[in-house]
Structures are given as C-alpha cells and as structure tokens.
Structure 1
C-alpha cells in the first residue's frame, strides 16, 4: 500500500534546504505573492500542512472521548479509531525525527533517495568493537540500510552504513542490542553494542528493525521470479472456464 503521508517525512528531511532556498529567492517570491494577491505567502503554504498533521491525533482523541460519553456501543468502530490515532502519533514522531536526517555529515554523498523510506531515529550509547570507541550515537533506520552517527553538539558525524542483508541483531538484556555482521563461513563479527536508557526504547527500535528486515527478506526472495499480472491471470482463468463449460 502506498504511504500517502510520507510526503510529510520528505518535507521535514528537506526543511533546512527549503528554508535556505526561500531566503535566497525572497524578493522573487515576494513579487509573485504580490502579483497573485496572496496574503499568506509561500511560508504559510509550506508550514500549514505540518501544523495540520499535529491536530489529527488530537481530533481523533476528542472523537474517542465523545464516543465514550455518548454511550454508543460499537466496538469495531472504536477499535479502528484507536488504531488510527496510534498510527497518527507514530507518524508524527517519525516526521519530527526526520528533521535530524539532513544534519548528518556526508548525507548528500549517500544518495538519500536510494536508501528507501526513513523509518526511525533513536538515541543510544554506542560501543564500536573495531575501533573500541564509546560515544553518544543516533541510529537511523531506512528501508535499505542502518546508518550510525556520532552525536557532536549540533551536528551528527557519519560513522557507518550497513545494508540489512549483512546484519544480525540480538537483544542483549532489556536495554542493550548487539549488532553483528554476517559471515558466510564464520561466526558473525561484532560491530556495535547499542544501549538505551529505557527498555521500551529498545523494544520499539528492535520491532521496527525486524519488520524492515522481514520485508527486505520477502522482497529479496521475490526478485528474479516471474510473476504474471493479475489481469492476465483472471483472463486466463475466465477463458478456461468458458472452454470447459461451452466446448
């Protein structure tokens, strides 16, 4: 299913560049605004959708509250609305996290569009086995890869990028995760120990990572397989039925 709300994530990942471009073209944009008699301007046009997004969970929460007060007994509807409200809050969380993506050093060299959808950013205390260094880290999960960065005041120093097909994740206690590289003829090679302050942070992060890995595994298994379009399958099935019944 196409993610119709991902445009908000894309906007936040490009917010800094957008603000810079608008500042550079301020005079031209002001002239266009005057020509079309637009009282709000392009800033309002860009910011309002994000502001509206924050109101959706509040609106759904109010709907749930009024639903309870009315005494209406319709559990399927209430269950669906509660699930939607939870998903909207998760989306809002991801949108807010996406603003950190462009602060990664060298992010432009990674071809951000090729990494797939951005899914989550989480703060950890990281220990890198190869360098034997420990530092505050922010780990970004994309559909195609995991990117580890070091937190340095107002910027994020790029450290490592791993494709999901090369990784093994293991829960090492309630607040710690072991990240290892797969080896064909040897035991996995330890890369990182990621430690969070709260066990719930690790649980959410690991659930998201494993979901991405499973989707990647299914997509990899489907690559190279010949698949007939559904319309063609239905037409062939209808033709067989007609031949069987009328010939």
Structure 2
C-alpha cells in the first residue's frame, strides 16, 4: 500500500511540474505560419503574390517577420471547401477572404475586423436579353443560376424559395466556362470583385448585370490549431496595416 501511494504522489508531483510548461507551450507563437490561397482571381494568383489577398499576405508576412515568425504561403490555389478542411485539421493557419456565418464561427477564429467587402452580382451571356432587378426576377423567369459548391453565396441563394440552383462548380473559371458554353445554366452568382475582373480579362463574351443583391464583409480566418499568441500577433498586424492606410490602398486597387 505504501508503495502504491508513493508512486501516485510521484506521478502527481511530476504532472504539477510539467502541466504549466505544456500550457505555456500551447500559448507560444509558432515559428512558421501557413497561409493558403483560393482559386479565385483577383483575390489570388497562383503564379505570384499579387491579388487583393495576395498583397494582404505580403504585408502581414513582412510585419510578422519582424516578430520572428515566418510565413509560408502555399503556392497552389485551392477551392474553398478544401481550404476550410485544411484550416480545420491544422494543415493551414490563415485564409483571407472568408464570409461569416454561425457555423463557421464555431469552427474557426475570425479576425477582429473585416479586411474588405464585396457585393454579390450575376453574370450572363452578352447576347442574353435578361433584365434582372431582384432575386424574384430570377425565380419568375425560371432561370438556372450557378454558384460555387460549398460557398456562402450558394447557401444564401438556397435561403430563397423558387430558385433553380446549380452549385456543383468548384471554381469561378469552371462556372464561367459552362455559362460561356451555354451548358444548362443562365447566370453565375458570385462577387463583383471576381466577376468584374474575369469578364474583362478572360470571358469577354459574358457581362455583369448592374444589379447588386447584397454586400458582405470578408474576413481573415485562423485555424483553431493556431496558438493564442500567434493569433494576437496576426491581429496586431491587421490593426497596423489598417491604421497605416496600407490596407485601404490595396482595397482601392482591386475594388
């Protein structure tokens, strides 16, 4: 019996020494943070660090380097569903350009302030004769509207009854190519940042209709695997580039 109690006391003693160290380690900042890019132009470009969020990443990386934290921006671009999974399982720490909803708030850490705002619009074939002033017009005309799989835009569309929605597309290019080729969709519902750019540079036989359906803020989100200290450093950098006017300069360049 004395041997049993001695072993128990020994274990408790060593745990009392180790647990504070573990807690301190969990609150320390990582030496490297992994940032991830979406397959969404002009938020990101695969070949370089340009794009609205690409330039925000560059500013954040510069400030974090001064604090001894390196930033690794993964070179590939990914669909939003893959990105959210990567954040949730800890393969990535930071993503720029996320919409906000209650479900995501449970899974990720949101920045304390948005980094920009976009408005939802629709694109159509240039030879189409549609006059769209509201969501009801899309429903009444029985038009098939495309959206990205797993996107907040797609969920918003599904909150409206009577719409014919095709949200199987994994990238804006995939949806716009289908629209361009008249593949059983009439409209593509997306944000003005992306559609204005893509219809001017790539899909010139498509046009963006003038109606805006809603304006939403876009945020940085952090993986819950990211330590509290690293989140504080990230938030300090967001505050810094906001106060300096650097964030506004990037916003005005792309929006």
Using structure 2 for the length normalisation, give the TM-score.
0.25
Higher relative contact order (CA 8 A, sep 6+): 2
Using structure 1 for the length normalisation, give the TM-score.
0.25
Q: Which structure: larger Rg?
A: 1
Which of the two has greater helix per residue?
1
